C-alpha cells in the first residue's frame, strides 16, 4: 500500500460519487444521492489516508515535510478540503441533492492532479523558502477558503438552471428552495472569506520572515487580494445593498473565477515568487 495507490483509489471513488449524484438528479432517485454521500465519505477516508501516507513516505525518503509543496499535492489537498466541507454541509443542512454541483469539482481537482502529464506526483525535497512552520498554516487556511468558494460556486450554479417556478414533476423539483440556496451560498462565502483572509495574512507574515517584506505585489499576492476584493464586494452588496438571487450569484461566480486564476492562472501565465502551487 502506498500513497499513490490510495490517491488513485480516491480519484475513482470520487468519480463514482459524482455518477451517483448526477444519477440521483437525472432519475430523481433520492437513494442514489444517499449512496453518493457515503461514497464521498469513503473517498474522503482514502484521500485522507493518501495524504497522511504521503507525509510518512516523505520522511522515509529523508525529506520529511508536509505534503503541501507542489501542484500535485495542493490539488489533492484541494479535493480533500472540498470533500470535507461538503460532507459537513450536507450533514448540517440535510440537503443531499446539492452534491450534484459539488461532487464533480471534488473529482475534477484530484483527477487533474493524476492525469495531467505536466504535474509530477514525485515526492520532492522542500526548497529553502518553503521550510517554515507557516507552510502548514498558510496552505490549510488558503485551501479551506478556496473550498468554501468552490461550494458557493456550485450552489450559485443552481440559480441558472432552476426555473422560477419548478412544477412538482420537473427535474428541478427536488432542488432546495430559493431561501436555502441563498443561505447556503452566503454561508459558504462567509466561511471562505474568513479563511482566505487568514490565508493571506499567514502568507504575509511568512513572507515577512522569509524575504523581509510582508507584501510585495507579487502576482500571487495581488490576485489573492483581487479575489478578496470581489468577495468583499459580494458581502457589501448582500448585507448593505440588499442584493440577492441571480445578480448576487453572478458575483459569486466571478469570485470563483478569481480563485481559479489565483490558483492556476498565476502559475501558468504569470511569473513570480510563488511558483510551487
**Contact between 268 and another protein (CB under 8 A)?**
no
Nearest alpha carbon to residue 249 among 164, 181, 176: 181
> Which of 132, 178, 244, 260 touches another protein by CB under 8 A?
132
The answer to whether 23 and 59 are in contact (CB under 8 A) is no
Maximum C-alpha span of the chain: 62
Q: Which residues, numbered 194-213, are part of the site for another protein (CB under 8 A)?
A: 194, 197-198, 201, 204-206, 208-213
> Which of 27, 38, 59, 63 touches another protein by CB under 8 A?
63
Closest to another protein by CB, 17 vs 230, is 230
Contact stretch for another protein (CB under 8 A) within 6-14, 43-51, 161-169, 188-196: 188-196
- Enclosing H/E stretch for 135: helix 134-156
**Contact between 124 and another protein (CB under 8 A)?**
yes
Burial 204-241 (b: 16+ CB within 10 A, else e): bebbeeeeeeeeeebbbbbbbbebbebbeebeeebeee
Cβ neighbours, 10 Å, residue 41: 16
> Which of 12, 178, 214, 264 touches another protein by CB under 8 A?
214
Q: Which residues, numbered 221-260, are part of the site for another protein (CB under 8 A)?
A: 222-223, 225-226, 229-230, 232-233, 236-237, 240-241
Cell numbers describing residue 20: 451517483
- Look up cell 501542484; give the residue: 71
Cell numbers describing residue 188: 459558504
Distance in Å, CB of 183 to another protein, minimum: 8
Binding site for another protein (CB under 8 A): 63, 124-125, 127-129, 131-132, 183, 190, 193-194, 197-198, 201, 204-206, 208-215, 217, 219, 222-223, 225-226, 229-230, 232-233, 236-237, 240-241, 266, 270
Amino acid at each position: 500500500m502506498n500513497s499513490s495507490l490510495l490517491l488513485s483509489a480516491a480519484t475513482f471513488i470520487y468519480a463514482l460519487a459524482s455518477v451517483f449524484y448526477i444519477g440521483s438528479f437525472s432519475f430523481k432517485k433520492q437513494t442514489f444521492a444517499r449512496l453518493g454521500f457515503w461514497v464521498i465519505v469513503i473517498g474522503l477516508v482514502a484521500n485522507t489516508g493518501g495524504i497522511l501516507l504521503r507525509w510518512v513516505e516523505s520522511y522515509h525518503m529523508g525529506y520529511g515535510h508536509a505534503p503541501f509543496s507542489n501542484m500535485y499535492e495542493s490539488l489533492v489537498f484541494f479535493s480533500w478540503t472540498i470533500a470535507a466541507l461538503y460532507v459537513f454541509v450536507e450533514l448540517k443542512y440535510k440537503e443531499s441533492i446539492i452534491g450534484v454541483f459539488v461532487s464533480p469539482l471534488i473529482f475534477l481537482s484530484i483527477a487533474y492532479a493524476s492525469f495531467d502529464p505536466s504535474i509530477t506526483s514525485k515526492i520532492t525535497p522542500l526548497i529553502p523558502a518553503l521550510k517554515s512552520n507557516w507552510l502548514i498554516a498558510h496552505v490549510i487556511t488558503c485551501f479551506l477558503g478556496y473550498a468554501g468558494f468552490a461550494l458557493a460556486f456550485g450552489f450559485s450554479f443552481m440559480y441558472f438552471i432552476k426555473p422560477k417556478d419548478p412544477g412538482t414533476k420537473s427535474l428541478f423539483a427536488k432542488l432546495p428552495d430559493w431561501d436555502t440556496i441563498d443561505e447556503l451560498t452566503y454561508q459558504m462565502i462567509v466561511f471562505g472569506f474568513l479563511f482566505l483572509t487568514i490565508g493571506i495574512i499567514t502568507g504575509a507574515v511568512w513572507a515577512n520572515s522569509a524575504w523581509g517584506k510582508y507584501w510585495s505585489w507579487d502576482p500571487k499576492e495581488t490576485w489573492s487580494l483581487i479575489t478578496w476584493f470581489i468577495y468583499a464586494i459580494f458581502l457589501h452588496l448582500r448585507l448593505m445593498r440588499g442584493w440577492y438571487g441571480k445578480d448576487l450569484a453572478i458575483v459569486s461566480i466571478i469570485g470563483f473565477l478569481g480563485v481559479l486564476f489565483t490558483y492556476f492562472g498565476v502559475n501558468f501565465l504569470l511569473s513570480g515568487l510563488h511558483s510551487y502551487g
